[in-house]
Amino acid sequence: MNIALPILVLPLPEQNYSCHGCGNCCRDFTVQLRAADLEKLRAQEWEAKLGMSVTTEFRGTVYLKQREDGACIFLMDDGLCRIHREYGFAEKPIACQLFPFVLVPDDQRTRVGISFACQSVRENKGAVLRSHLSEIDRMSQALPQTRVATYSAMLADALGAKDGELEALAQVVDRFLARDDVAMSDRFDGLAFIASSLGRAKLAQVRAQRFTELVVLLATALPGELEHVPLDEALPKQLRLLRQAVYARIEDVQVNRAKALGRMRTVITQMLASRSFTRGKGAVPNVARGILRDTTYADIARVPRLSLSKDRDAIDALFTRYTRATILGGRAWGAGYYGWPAVRGLQALTLNLACTAWLARALAAARHHDEVTIDDARDALGRIDRHAGRAPWLGSVGERLRLEFFRLDDGLRRIVRESI
């Protein structure tokens, strides 16, 4: 018999959360159902009550049905969930109960990360995270695979992690990110610097304690080292790829829309939108439920980078909390991020930050703001983190190749500098 791993709730006292019932997750997410969820829904006899099926199947997976506007069919006008109201919280599908928590087993514990797709998480509203421990423990029992060690920790491609290496990496990077004497742009440039440097290093020859020393060396050289390796602006091909990466992160395949359009038309629509983002000319297509409607790429390019915004301190606090929560909550690599090795996961996190910054500028342009506001930044982060670690295409070979490309010509650092 397997003994359940102990639970470690995100060790970041700066982060709070309680659900404030905004209903955004019910309007925005496609809820995948497990066999136990289907059992519960059958027992609740919704089909007889509503006169229709409450589930839909798409490409072999069963989901909760959505209304025409994409919202869950159980979302009521007052923003509450009908299953919750009639049967109680514990009778909702497990994915709805667990959100925004994310359970990530490694070889010693189940880390509890948190998704910034939730409005309360972004706004840092509510109780300390540890107060949710018993509830998380109860929910995790419905997901036994999240309480057993099934994942072999990897440091880099084909290089398994040795004891303590990943913990050291997480702690050193976290300490650097928490430094309030370093400007936001330097801290995230520093993150890109560490991620890129580790990507270039021959890590097979630097193991265990020597690996820790290497990471400490890199982090303590910052931010001073950045001045010795200054950067030119991002290259046009790097900006093309950044916009393409943004599209991959905000692409919103609604099940009912995809079913109505049919597979071929859905694929063609996505291809055209992706091409538009890559070219970066003219009007931005209607993507992600119209959040960038009536915007052009030229409008977006005119919005200053985030460090020049009046809200930069609030944006800094948000981005820093997100980055630290993602690493410490186990969502940056391993089972929390497509089983990826730590170094590639760190690079992906850096790219996610650059994508968030680009999208925040795009939202500012779409809302006719002269600069990025904290609301633009929050909304952008909600969009980007919505797919991170969940959407299969972000864990694909294509995404890996994109990161490889950003390793060349200091691509990661340049796109971070360009937008943050």
Which residues of this chain interact with ligand SF4, rule CB under 6 A?
A: 19-25, 99-100, 118-120
In three-state secondary structure terms, 239 is helix
In three-state secondary structure terms, 149 is coil
Q: Shortest approach of ligand SF4 to residue 97 CB, angstroms?
A: 10
Q: Which is nearer to ligand SF4, 118 or 328 (CB)?
A: 118
The string over 60-78, giving b where at least 16 C-beta atoms fall within 10 Å of a residue's C-beta and e elsewhere, is: eebbbbbeeebebbbbeee
Q: Shortest approach of ligand SF4 to residue 306 CB, angstroms?
A: 23
Q: Which is nearer to ligand SF4, 341 or 382 (CB)?
A: 382
Q: Shortest approach of ligand SF4 to residue 123 CB, angstroms?
A: 9
Q: Shortest approach of ligand SF4 to residue 405 CB, angstroms?
A: 34
For 200, other C-beta atoms within 10 Å of its C-beta total: 9
Q: Which is nearer to ligand SF4, 18 or 266 (CB)?
A: 18
Please give the Cα distance from 356 to 9 (Å, whole number). Answer: 25
Q: Which is nearer to ligand SF4, 96 or 303 (CB)?
A: 96
Q: Shortest approach of ligand SF4 to residue 27 CB, angstroms?
A: 9
Q: Shortest approach of ligand SF4 to residue 126 CB, angstroms?
A: 8
Please give the Cα distance from 415 to 314 (Å, whole number). Answer: 21
In three-state secondary structure terms, 18 is coil
- Residue 30 has which token pair? 């496609």
Q: Which is nearer to ligand SF4, 71 or 178 (CB)?
A: 71
The string over 87-116, giving b where at least 16 C-beta atoms fall within 10 Å of a residue's C-beta and e elsewhere, is: eeeeebbbbbbbbbbbbbbbeeebbbbbbb
Q: Which amino acid is at 217?
A: L
Q: Shortest approach of ligand SF4 to residue 173 CB, angstroms?
A: 27
Q: Which is nearer to ligand SF4, 127 or 267 (CB)?
A: 127
Q: Shortest approach of ligand SF4 to residue 394 CB, angstroms?
A: 21
Please give the Cα distance from 311 to 342 (Å, whole number). Answer: 32
Q: Which is nearer to ligand SF4, 120 or 196 (CB)?
A: 120
Q: Shortest approach of ligand SF4 to residue 338 CB, angstroms?
A: 24
Q: Which is nearer to ligand SF4, 123 or 409 (CB)?
A: 123
Q: Which residue, among 235, 278, 204, 253, has the nearest Cα to 409 in the 3D structure?
A: 235
Phi and psi at residue 334, in whole multiples of 5°?
65, -150
Phi and psi at residue 396, in whole multiples of 5°?
-85, 175
Give the CB-side neighbour count of residue 172, counting CA atoms within 13 A: 23
Please give the Cα distance from 86 to 94 (Å, whole number). Answer: 16
User: Which residues have C-beta within 8 Å of that of residue 175, sequence separation ≥ 6?
Assistant: 219
- Chain CA centroid to CA 278, Å: 21
Please give the Cα distance from 391 to 56 (Å, whole number). Answer: 19
Q: Shortest approach of ligand SF4 to residue 89 CB, angstroms?
A: 11
Q: Which is nearer to ligand SF4, 21 or 160 (CB)?
A: 21
> Tokens 């409607």 identify what position?
293
* Largest pairwise CA distance in the chain: 69
Q: Which is nearer to ligand SF4, 24 or 274 (CB)?
A: 24
